Amino acid sequence: MRTNSIKSIILPSLLLALMALMLSALAAPKWPEDNTVSPQPESESGGNWQESSSPTSDGLTVSGDGFDASYTLTLLDGDETLELTIAEYLQGSLAAEMPASFEPEALCAQAVALRTYVLRKCLAGPSDSHPEADVCSDSGCCAAWRSEQALRENWGEDSEANLEKIRSAIQATDGVCVSYEGSLAQTVFHSSSDGMTAGSGEIWSSVPYLTPVESPESSDDVPGYIQSVTVSTGDFKDTILSAYPEADLSGEPETWVSGTALTDSGRVDHITVGGVDIPGSALRTLFSLRSTSIDLELSGDGFIFTTTGYGHGVGMSQYGANTMARNGGSWNEILAWYYPGTQLVSAWDMVGQE
Ligand SMILES: [Zn+2]
């Protein structure tokens, strides 16, 4: 019988506690049935994960409907199927998803987000796109993942130092996951935001802990934070009509764009072009823009899209996490900030290991 006690985090401010209370009154998200895990034990206040003397748990592997030392995670990497421990998976995923040059506390926060993500995938069962594996290494399908050999080839002489940083972040957060109301949380993340993260309801469906929060990164922290793309009026017209043939672009270009509506987080909800309301996310895809924080203007050269930040904007901002860490924020404060109302739990405790 394992007696790994649950530890809790103390929310960094009264504001967050109030937000958590307000959010708990909202409807809970619908979870896939097979993702439900047993209720977590009562939290003890004052716990500190990094000083925990609990045995390591990432050495365990996971599959089917629970966790056990004999389980393995199956990863599809190209044509290869690999059996990995959680720690082995996390090394390749953390290194592929966040630069090793980031602050240690940001890497820890990302490790917890990825651990939660992969355990959710394993508990959810086989994916339609690859029934033979729990996860794949394609970032367009699952999270990105790279083998140690590929990482070493990419890092060169920095390999040892980078691997040490990545492994330290995984060990420092060993076994820790983000939970909401007894289930593993949807720990989605993105590269950078424009002052505020996006609510999940702006793109997908609403989730209580994926609501807009302030994010501290700026152009000083993020390469390519603000980027402009100029599209000629001819290309703009062709691209819009290819997706929205009903749009009326018969008049002068000055008359094509007639309005923009913003979301709660200040991103483009939709933009009206030729009388058609085009969602911000569709506009982003159509013109390969970096985010839906879009400023659109017409100049002599054509339409200028100026975007701020990179990614869908929901959940943890990686550059925001790095800025928080540089300003002294701990990994548990970062996670509490970007996933308000959630708790940190041990994967072992959540499934009631024998
Ligand atoms: Zn996949």
Which residues, including other chains, have CB under 8 Å from residue 259's CB and lie 6 or more apart? 271, 272
pLDDT in tens, the chain (354 residues): 333 333 333 333 333 333 333 333 332 222 222 222 333 333 333 233 333 333 345 655 444 444 544 456 899 999 999 999 888 899 999 999 999 999 999 999 999 999 999 989 988 887 889 999 999 999 999 999 999 999 999 999 999 999 999 999 999 998 899 999 989 999 999 999 999 999 999 999 999 999 999 999 999 999 999 999 999 999 999 999 999 999 999 999 999 999 999 999 999 999 999 999 999 999 999 999 999 999 999 999 999 999 999 999 999 999 999 999 999 999 999 999 999 999 999 876 665 433
Tell me the CA–centroid distance for residue 135 and ligand 1, in Å.
5
Contact indicator for 162, 330 with CB cutoff of 8 Å: no
- Of the candidates 118, 3, 136, 21, the residue with the CA atom closest to the CA atom of residue 82: 136
Which residues, including other chains, have CB under 8 Å from residue 237's CB and lie 6 or more apart? 249, 253, 256
Tell me the CA–centroid distance for residue 134 and ligand 1, in Å.
8
The neighbouring-strand residues paired with 135 are 75
Tell me the CA–centroid distance for residue 246 and ligand 1, in Å.
36
Give the angle 22-340-53 at the CA atoms, nearest 5°.
Answer: 130
Tell me the CA–centroid distance for residue 150 and ligand 1, in Å.
19
Same domain, 296 and 151: no
Tell me the CA–centroid distance for residue 140 and ligand 1, in Å.
8
Same domain, 84 and 49: yes
Give the angle 265-271-276 at the CA atoms, nearest 5°.
Answer: 145
Same domain, 56 and 147: yes
Same domain, 47 and 67: yes
State the DSSP code for 41.
P
Q: Which residue has the tokens 């203007």?
A: 297
Tell me the CA–centroid distance for residue 124 and ligand 1, in Å.
13
Q: Which tokens go with 233?
A: 């009026």
Q: Note whether residue 211 is domain-resident.
A: no
Same domain, 172 and 251: no
Distance CA 147, CA 77 (A): 9
Tell me the CA–centroid distance for residue 69 and ligand 1, in Å.
24
Tell me the CA–centroid distance for residue 218 and ligand 1, in Å.
32
Same domain, 136 and 77: yes
Q: Note whether residue 113 is domain-resident.
A: yes
Confidence (pLDDT) at 103: 98
Tell me the CA–centroid distance for residue 77 and ligand 1, in Å.
9
Tell me the CA–centroid distance for residue 82 and ligand 1, in Å.
13
Q: Note whether residue 217 is domain-resident.
A: no
Tell me the CA–centroid distance for residue 43 and ligand 1, in Å.
34
Same domain, 170 and 302: no
Tell me the CA–centroid distance for residue 95 and ligand 1, in Å.
17
State the DSSP code for 274.
T
Q: Note whether residue 203 is domain-resident.
A: no
Same domain, 320 and 294: no
Tell me the CA–centroid distance for residue 351 and ligand 1, in Å.
24
Confidence (pLDDT) at 126: 79
Contact indicator for 77, 142 with CB cutoff of 8 Å: no
Contact indicator for 140, 80 with CB cutoff of 8 Å: no
Same domain, 256 and 172: no
Which residues, including other chains, have CB under 8 Å from residue 53's CB and lie 6 or more apart? none
Tell me the CA–centroid distance for residue 277 and ligand 1, in Å.
32
Q: Note whether residue 267 is domain-resident.
A: yes
| Structural domain count of the chain | 2
Contact indicator for 251, 274 with CB cutoff of 8 Å: no
Tell me the CA–centroid distance for residue 318 and ligand 1, in Å.
21
Contact indicator for 61, 108 with CB cutoff of 8 Å: no
Tell me the CA–centroid distance for residue 334 and ligand 1, in Å.
27
Tell me the CA–centroid distance for residue 269 and ligand 1, in Å.
29
Same domain, 98 and 19: yes
Same domain, 129 and 97: yes
Helix (H, G, I), strand (E, B) or coil at 179: strand
Confidence (pLDDT) at 59: 59
| Alpha helices, DSSP H, located in the chain | 14-24, 86-97, 104-124, 148-155, 159-172, 233-243, 280-286, 318-326, 331-338, 347-351
Q: Note whether residue 334 is domain-resident.
A: yes
Give the angle 131-127-279 at the CA atoms, nearest 5°.
Answer: 145
Q: Note whether residue 205 is domain-resident.
A: no
Tell me the CA–centroid distance for residue 289 and ligand 1, in Å.
24
| Range(s) of the domain holding residue 78 | 14-189+316-351
Tell me the CA–centroid distance for residue 243 and ligand 1, in Å.
28
Same domain, 156 and 293: no
Q: Note whether residue 2 is domain-resident.
A: no
Sign of the Cα torsion 56, 60, 62, 65 reads: negative
Tell me the CA–centroid distance for residue 285 and ligand 1, in Å.
21
pTM of the model: 0.80
